[in-house]
Amino acid sequence: MADKTPSQQIDDIIKLYGGWKGETLSQIRSAIKQADPDVVEAVKWRMATRPEGLPVWYHDGIVCLTETFKNDIKLVFTKGVNLSDPKKLFNARLMSKTDRAIELHEGDPVDQDGIKALFQQAVELNVNKESNKR
């Protein structure tokens, strides 16, 4: 996988998981790309137990990542504690001091509009933080 672009590596991760997990990852990715045409894709944190790594999306810093487990997928917003969640999509990592996550199981609908709104908020937070440093 290392000789492929990050986008190709994420394509491979989607194919690797296949089934409902692959479809869910694909829908999440689609929402993210629609929310921000300037998003940068990466694959990080490869390890023996997860050699494929984790899909990560950046815009002036990390915005979110996905983790795939045996029975669920988590879309983790790394600064989720600072985001408003009017649709109440965050249902995991609620005790974290920084992260918030959307945990999805087989058969759960993917709220693409809700994900887009959260992603756009997170990008705005990153952009404003970067502009405040100057």
Q: Please answer whether residues 41 and 56 qualify as being in contact, where contact means their C-beta atoms are separated by less than 8 angstroms.
A: yes
As beta bridge partners, residue 50 has 47
Tell me how far apart the 2 most distant CA atoms of the chain are, in Å.
46
Beta strands (DSSP E) in the chain are: 40-44, 54-58, 62-68, 73-77, 100-104
Mean pLDDT of the chain: 94
Q: Pick from 5, 10, 1, 2: which is nearest to 32 by CA?
A: 10
Task: Tell me which H or E stretch contains 25.
Answer: helix 19-35
Q: What is the pLDDT at residue 131?
A: 59
- When mean pLDDT is compared across 39-53, 59-73, 118-132, the lowest value belongs to 118-132
Judged against a pLDDT cut of 50, whether residue 73 lies above it is answered with yes
**CA 57, CA 42: separation in Å to the nearest integer?**
6
**CA 37, CA 48: separation in Å to the nearest integer?**
33
